[in-house]
Amino acid sequence: MNKKHFLKNTNPLFEKSKKKKQDVNKIIQVSNKKFKGGSKLIIQQHRHQGVFVARGKEDAICTKNMVFGESVYGEKRILIKEKDQKSEFRIWNPFRSKLSAAILGGIDDIYLKPGMKVLYLGAASGTTVSHISDIIGIDGTIYAVEFSHRSGRDLLNLAKKRQNIIPIIEDARHPQKYRMFLTMVDLIFSDIAQPDQARIMSINANHFLRSGGFFIITIKASCIDSTSEPSLIFSKEVQKLQKENFKPIEQITLEPYERDHAMVFGKFRTQKFSN
């Protein structure tokens, strides 16, 4: 069973639908933290660094937009006006981002902080990557690995506007092909729907993840074994991670946003090795 959700799941902002053309540049105008017309909207800091809660008629989580005036995947934006300052926040849709779903599900720690270096495997078009980009800020770096050239084009365009994203169009099974682009990272995020995804993350972690660093992995049960119970599959994947020097700390399922999906959060090996 999933944990109690931090916010409502029936939010119209999160309707599961394809991107609508009219929503791409839609901004919710807010003056002095209130909707025009009298409806109140308050932006509050979430307990996770870099994540915020927009509280109004409906609640939503969001990140502070690193690139003012730009949406990434048609998400709504909230413009905050206070005196002479403007801030913009991007609604983080849990139907489009598994990490958002995990946060709404009540995950204890996402391990992301400003200034971190992150390796993201399976970056796709950059939906979740863009929100992590907001969280880690200009002093952080996210190395976004994606094998599909179609998604890679979107990723390249995203990186043109966000200086902390380094796109890598390559197969995550072969980290030696992109080792020259990376330094050691603080966290590895794996969103690769493959039966050997634990091994793929392990290979990359051994190349790039510092000892004592963190990991996040998404598990899609049907991609591992379409005949077994999801809970059994999740358990076996956790065992695989443990054998690969990962220390799983927390596991959470993603209902109602994703069916038969789980995410596991934890640490990489903590023992020190002598030269």
| Cα–Cα distance measured from residue 59 to residue 42, given in angstroms and rounded to the nearest whole number | 10
Residue that wins the pLDDT comparison between 35 and 245: 245
Per-residue pLDDT band for 40 (boundaries 50, 70, 90) equals confident
pTM of the model: 0.84
Domains in the chain with CATH codes: 12-91 (no CATH), 98-268 (3.40.50.150)
Report in angstroms the alpha-carbon separations of 248 from 11, 17, 125. 31, 33, 27
pLDDT cut 90: percent of the chain above it: 72
| Cα–Cα distance measured from residue 101 to residue 92, given in angstroms and rounded to the nearest whole number | 9
Sheet holding 77-82, edge to edge: 34-35, 27-31, 77-82, 85-91, 60-64, 52-55, 42-45
Q: Over the stretch 176-208, which tens digit does the pLDDT of each residue have?
A: 999 999 999 999 999 998 889 999 999 999 999
* Closest C-alpha to 67, from 187, 185, 157, 143: 157
Omega of the bond leading into 256 within 30 degrees of 0 (cis): yes
pLDDT cut 70: percent of the chain above it: 84
Average pLDDT over residues 6-28: 39
Weakest mean pLDDT among 2-6, 86-90, 135-139: 2-6
Per-residue pLDDT band for 275 (boundaries 50, 70, 90) equals very low
Report in angstroms the alpha-carbon separations of 249 from 167, 217, 268. 29, 12, 11
| Cα–Cα distance measured from residue 141 to residue 153, given in angstroms and rounded to the nearest whole number | 19
Per-residue pLDDT band for 31 (boundaries 50, 70, 90) equals very low
The pLDDT value given to residue 161: 96
Residue type for 205, please? A
Residue that wins the pLDDT comparison between 3 and 202: 202
* Closest C-alpha to 63, from 114, 105, 7, 21: 114
The pLDDT value given to residue 24: 33
Q: Over the stretch 92-116, which tens digit does the pLDDT of each residue have?
A: 999 999 999 999 999 999 999 999 9
Sheet holding 185-190, edge to edge: 165-169, 141-146, 117-121, 185-190, 209-220, 261-268, 246-253
The pLDDT value given to residue 83: 77
| Cα–Cα distance measured from residue 267 to residue 211, given in angstroms and rounded to the nearest whole number | 9
The pLDDT value given to residue 39: 53
| Residue 1 predicted with pLDDT over 90 | no
Q: How high does pLDDT run on average in the chain?
A: 85
Three-state SS at 272 = coil
The pLDDT value given to residue 70: 94
| Cα–Cα distance measured from residue 257 to residue 101, given in angstroms and rounded to the nearest whole number | 6
Contacts of 51 (CB under 8 A, 6+ apart): 45, 61, 62, 63, 92, 103, 110, 135
Average pLDDT over residues 1-20: 40
- Please provide the size of the chain in residues: 275
Average pLDDT over residues 229-239: 92
The pLDDT value given to residue 270: 57
Q: Over the stretch 120-153, which tens digit does the pLDDT of each residue have?
A: 999 999 999 999 999 999 999 999 999 999 988 9
Neighbour-count burial for 142-162, b at 16+ CB within 10 Å, e otherwise: bbbbbbeeebbebbbebbeeb
